Structures are given as structure tokens and as C-alpha cells.
Chains A and B, each alone.
Chain A
Amino acid sequence: MIAWPGSVLHHLRFINLSFWRNPGAAFFGVVFPLMILTINSLVFGGAKIPMHGHTVTAASFYVAGMSVFAVVMTCFTNLAVTILFDRDMGRLKRIRGTPTAVSAYVTARLLFAMAMGLLASMLCVAEGVAFFGVTIALPDLGAFVVTVLAGSACLAALSLAVVSVIPNAQAGPAMLNAVTFPILFVSNVFYPVDRLPAWLNAIANALPIRPLATATVGAFFGGGISLPSLSVLGIWGVVGAVIAAARFRWQPRR
């Protein structure tokens, strides 16, 4: 009898091995947000912008924004794309043909995506601190980590839900980007967004990325943990988990 936590760890080990050898996964999840952070900070980093009552550098805003972007890329887009390929290629089916408990395998996939989300966001912070004069107080970093992990869990659950409506791996990246990028552009991620039409503002606040960005930026600049924003993430996370539990497929549609 293999204990459940041991089974989770076993699969985490091989998911990790495979991830770092997969250039697409490692690049888009971890390197790409750092690249955009670098370019944005080099071009606009010195500008001053008002934030929560005081003035901050644009570079420190980008650190928070790109952390959210990294979480979306690793926990939503990248998790979905790898699952779609694994489903199409019969790899999920193979796992399901072994004595692995379904819950242990899904937990391993979720935990790994969350770990990569946290890692990518920490690398953004480290880059900002090391190269662009960004500072963050230790208690704020704690709130930031909690917020990033909550966002990672929510987006990973939504990712497992969304793969059930994507027909195959070929369609995956296009459909996923068509969902995420319009939302990212109205969500305080690439630049501060404060003059949206009211209706668009309402939509953005009801979707998960804007509340995550609001909470992450808030935590970064001393606002602590934003419970209203995390509640929105919690609701989306539960919706994602319920859809995933009901609709997740282990092999391609025949």
C-alpha cells in the first residue's frame, strides 16, 4: 500500500524533472515574465506613479504586475497546455491505468503549478530588488506570498476546469491566450489601469485576474492581505474545482 502523500511526492518528482527539460514550459512560465519585467523597467522604470497614497517607482509596480502575469502564465496557461498535450498523447490515460489515486496525481499537478507560480513571482521580486532599486518590507513580502499562493491555487483550479472545454492541444494556446490577454490588459498587470469605463471596470473586478492584481499590488505596497479580493479568488477557485471534478477527461474525445 502506497501512502497518499508519498504518491503525491513521487509524481511531483517526475513532473519537476520533465518541466525543466521542456523548453516551452520553462520559458513561458518563468523566463518570459522576467523578460517583460526587464524591458518595462529599463524603458519606464524610473517614472513616478501614485500608489495607495504615496508615490512609487514604475519599476516596483512592474514587479508586482509581472508577478501576477507569471502566476497566470504558469498556473493557468502553462498548466492547461501541458495537461492538454498529456491528454492528447495518452499520458494521462497511462497514469490512470496505474494504481495511482486520481486525487494524488491531480494534487501533484496543482502543487507543482503553484510552486512554479510562487518561484516565478519571487524571481520577479528578486530581479526588481537586485537591479531596479525596488524595496519591499518583510511583512509586506509575507502578505505578497500569501496572495500569490491564493491566486495560484485559484488559477490552477480554473485551468483544470478550462481544459474540459478545449477540444485538443492544437487549439489550446490560441484559446487560452484569447481568454487571458484581454483580461490581463484591463487588470492592472502591464500598467496601472484607472480610467476604465464603469461597465468594463465592473467586469474586470468580477473576473479573477484583476482582484489578484489588486491584492498583489496592494500587498506589495503595504496594504496587507486584501480579504475582499481573495474572496473573489476563492469563489472562482471553487467554481473551477467543481467544474474540473465533474468534467475533467483523462483521454481525448473519440
Chain B
Amino acid sequence: MSEAAIEVRGLTKAYGKVQAVAGVDLTIAAGEIFALLGPNGAGKTTTVEILEGYIKRDSGSVRVLGHDPAKNAIALKRRIGIVAQENSPDPFLTVREMVRMIAGTYPAPRPADEVIELVGLTDKARTRAGRLSGGQQRRLDVACALVGDPDLLFLDEPTTGFDPDARLEAWAMVRGLRDLGKTVLLTTHYMDEAQQLADRVAVIASGRIIAEGTPDTLGGRGHAASRIRFRRPTGGPPLPDTVAARATEQEGQVTLSIDDPVPLLNALTGWAIAHSIALEGLEVTRPSLEDTYLALIGADRAGGTA
């Protein structure tokens, strides 16, 4: 587990005057599910397509499973599986034919029917791919990516356009990949997806990695302040001093922010019980991954456009 599946140093790529990737460093351990987050145009797909061997980098060093994708493309492709964006199957081939077509390109593929079962398409094996729903086609994409029995999977926005049910199914499938010991590089702009699936995440903006960590600690999220919110009845008794000192109140909605919420909550609930106040809408929240992400992206936009 110590060997890195992906090792990237100082990666750059420009399209004309647009610097799509401006010095990316990235290390992804074998067996890890790693999510690359970022807004459209941040350099996510360009970075991933360089790792996959689709496009050539301008500079920097890249090792994927020990190969340089720009040099050993075929040797590398025997060990990776790709679920790309906008990747529809041949509509005139059945699910089984499609999987066999891809399987036949690998040296030691898994049996087609086994992979079809893994993605839950067994009852559609004889259906033409053109007649599958969007979610089923995406599962067929995953079957095609798995059939070569790769060590590393690239999933580029695998659930974009899915309904909530299909997304839950897809997540279960990706967790299954972890159990198979695969390394997964996932790109997404759904923060709940990264929170649910990823061991580690990195945020890319303007072609650079601006933060990296576990979903729970990204961007200092692990020790960020908690936020307490509740409604105070109009005309009620004044708040205890410790609470009032930190609170902002707007139309009865009290909000306060504190690193260690426990003593303050104790004071607050003691005050509420003493005055028989219900503390309507009481909530204690940590910043979500989405809050953290938006703050990081916002800071990048504010500072990076000079």
C-alpha cells in the first residue's frame, strides 16, 4: 500500500494563451479513493486526461502505475480503466457485445457476464445499448472500465445527470471498487459525492491544487469553528452574558460562532430551561465540505485574478 499509484510533480499544460494546468503536484496511494474537486475550467479534466495518456503535457513529471503515460501508453492502458465524460456506447451493440468488444482489447480480461452482474445489468445483457436509460448507460461505462481488471480507475464526473436513486447506486458501486482493492481517481463537482466516497480530496482552481486533505479536514475544516443558531422569542428575557457576548441577532434569529461549543451550549440550555424557552430551530453545525470548498474557491477567485 506504500507504493504511489499516481505521482505528479510540477505538471503544466497550456492551450494557446490559456494555462489550463499551472503546476500541479499530486500523490495518490495505491488502494485509495481520491477525489479531485474544482469548478468547470479549473483544470480537472485536463489533468486527468494527461494521466490517462489522452493528451501530452507541456512540462512536469508524471508516473502512473510506474509508467509515463506520454511514453508507455499501451503498457499503461492495460492496467487502467476509464469512465470518461460524454462517452456513449455503440447504440447498435448489446450490453454483452459492448463489454466483450472492450474486453477483447485487454490481455487478461474478467468474464463479461461477471462484470455485467457487478454493475447490475444482468437482465439487460441482451438489450441494445441505445435502449438503456442514462443511468444504465453509465453503469455500462463502468462495466467497460472494469472488464480489463485494471488496478487503477479514472471516474470523470461519473454521476452527472443522475437522479438521486441512481446516484446512491453508483456510490455503492464505487465503494465496491474499494473492496476490490482498486485505486480510484474521481473527479466531481458534487461535494456530497466526495464526502461519501473519498479517502482524500484535493481542490483544483486556476490550474493549481489549492487544498488537499481528507473530506473531514480539508481547508482546516477539522478544527474550524462550529456555528450555533436558534430563534429567541420576542420580548423574552435577555441572553446569558457568555452567549450574548458572541451572538449576532437578526429578527429573532441568533447566530454565533465558537471553537468549543460545549460550555456555551451548557449555559444556553440552562438559561432556556430556567426560563421555559423552547430554543426553536436550535442547530449546531460544522462547516460542510461544500462550505469549505466554496470558501477556498472564493478566496482563489479574489486573489488569483490579478
Contacts and interface: CB of A to CB of B under 8 A. Distances in A.
A7 interface: yes
Contacts of A99: 74, 77-78, 105-107, 148
Question: Chain A CB within 10 Å — which of B88, B89, B106 has the most?
Answer: B88
B90 A91 contact: yes
B102 interface: yes
A39 to B, nearest CB: 29
Contact of A98 (B54, B88, B148): B148
Question: Chain A CB within 10 Å — which of B78, B87, B90 has the most?
Answer: B90
Contact of A90 (B52, B84, B104, B105): B84
A98 B82 CA distance: 8
B123 interface: no
A21 B91 CA distance: 9
A99 B52 CA distance: 12
B105 A2 contact: yes
B54 A93 contact: yes
Give the contact-size bracket for chain B.
20 to 34
A75 B55 CA distance: 29
A96 B78 CA distance: 12
A98 B90 contact: no
A18 B90 contact: yes
B88 to A, nearest CB: 4
B52 A10 contact: no
A97 B92 contact: no
Interface string B193-235: 0000000000000000000000000000000000000000000
Give the contact-size bracket for chain A.
20 to 34
A22 interface: yes
Contacts of B97: 14, 17
A1 interface: yes
A95 B52 CA distance: 13
A115 interface: no
Interface in B92-108: 92-93, 97, 100-102, 104-107
Contact of B105 (A18, A22, A89, A100): A100
Nearest to B94: A17
B101 A90 contact: no
B50 interface: no
Contact of A7 (B85, B87, B105): B105
A95 B143 CA distance: 14
A98 B84 contact: no
B174 interface: no
Contacts of A251: 54
21 contacts: A2-B104, A2-B105, A11-B101, A14-B90, A14-B97, A14-B101, A17-B92, A21-B92, A21-B93, A22-B92, A89-B87, A90-B85, A90-B87, A91-B87, A91-B90, A93-B87, A94-B144, A98-B77, A98-B105, A99-B74, A250-B54
User: What are the 7 closest A-B residue pairs judged by CB atoms, nearest first?
Assistant: A90-B87, A21-B92, A98-B105, A97-B82, A14-B101, A18-B92, A99-B77
Interface of A: 1-2, 7, 10-11, 14, 17-18, 21-22, 86, 89-91, 93-101, 250-251
Given A90-B88, A91-B87, A97-B80, 15 more contacts: A1-B107, A2-B104, A11-B101, A14-B100, A21-B92, A21-B128, A90-B85, A90-B87, A91-B88, A93-B87, A96-B54, A97-B84, A99-B77, A99-B106, A251-B54
